[in-house]
């Protein structure tokens, strides 16, 4: 099995509802998402996939949908307030944990036809979450 990994950096804010701790308050992260793409065979260029193709597919989506946005649970009382102020918000049906964001990026990659094996989201340099098939 061959694999390549592409790192994508983005910034986001979030908070966790029904949570006791610091993350219950709005705060932000400089995140890194790592996408591992796997294949049994190499293509005609001797590649699993060109890094530029991964970047065009996923970084474009991350930049448009997640970067410099508040990622909030859809029923978060902050959501309508921020939207009313014209602030960029991405809504999830669950708490926007690193685990949930990793799954979101994984699902988007799969929807775009990428043979993604795992996505790891580094929330901080020493804290990360991974989702794999």
pLDDT tens digits, 74-126: 999 999 999 999 999 999 999 999 999 999 999 999 999 999 999 999 999 99
Domain that holds residue 25: 2-132
Task: Please tell me the predicted confidence (pLDDT) of residue 8.
Answer: 97
Residue 111 sits at φ, ψ, to 5 deg, of: -60, -30
Task: Please tell me the predicted confidence (pLDDT) of residue 45.
Answer: 95
The total number of structural domains in the chain stands at 1
Model confidence pLDDT, tens digit, residues 32-89: 999 999 999 999 999 999 999 999 999 999 999 999 999 999 999 999 999 999 999 9
In angstroms, the Cα distances linking 15 to 37, 54, 108 are 30, 29, 22
Do residues 52 and 37 make contact, with C-beta atoms less than 8 angstroms apart?
Answer: no
Assigned token pair, 78: 């902050």
DSSP run (H or E) holding 130: strand 127-132
Here the CATH number for the domain that contains residue 75 is: 3.30.479.10
In this prediction, residue 133 has a pLDDT band, given cuts at 50, 70 and 90, of: confident
- Residue 17 CA to residue 34 CA, distance in Å, equals 26
Residues marked active site are found at: 23, 68, 123
In this prediction, residue 14 has a pLDDT band, given cuts at 50, 70 and 90, of: very high
Task: Please tell me the predicted confidence (pLDDT) of residue 105.
Answer: 98
- Whose structure tokens read 């701790």? 21
Task: Please tell me the predicted confidence (pLDDT) of residue 69.
Answer: 98
């Amino acid at each position: 099995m061959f694999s390549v990994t592409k790192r994508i950096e983005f910034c986001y804010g979030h908070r966790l509802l029904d949570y006791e701790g610091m993350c219950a308050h709005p705060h932000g992260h400089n995140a890194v998402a790592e996408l591992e793409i796997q294949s049994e065979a190499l293509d005609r260029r001797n590649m699993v996939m060109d890094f530029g193709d991964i970047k065009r597919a996923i970084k474009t989506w991350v930049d448009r949908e997640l970067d410099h946005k508040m990622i909030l649970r859809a029923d978060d009382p902050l959501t309508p307030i921020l939207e009313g102020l014209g602030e960029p918000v991405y809504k999830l049906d669950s708490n926007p944990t690193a685990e949930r964001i990793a799954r979101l990026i994984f699902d988007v990659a799969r929807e775009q036809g990428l043979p993604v094996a795992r996505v790891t989201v580094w929330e901080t340099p020493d804290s990360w979450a991974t989702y794999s098939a």
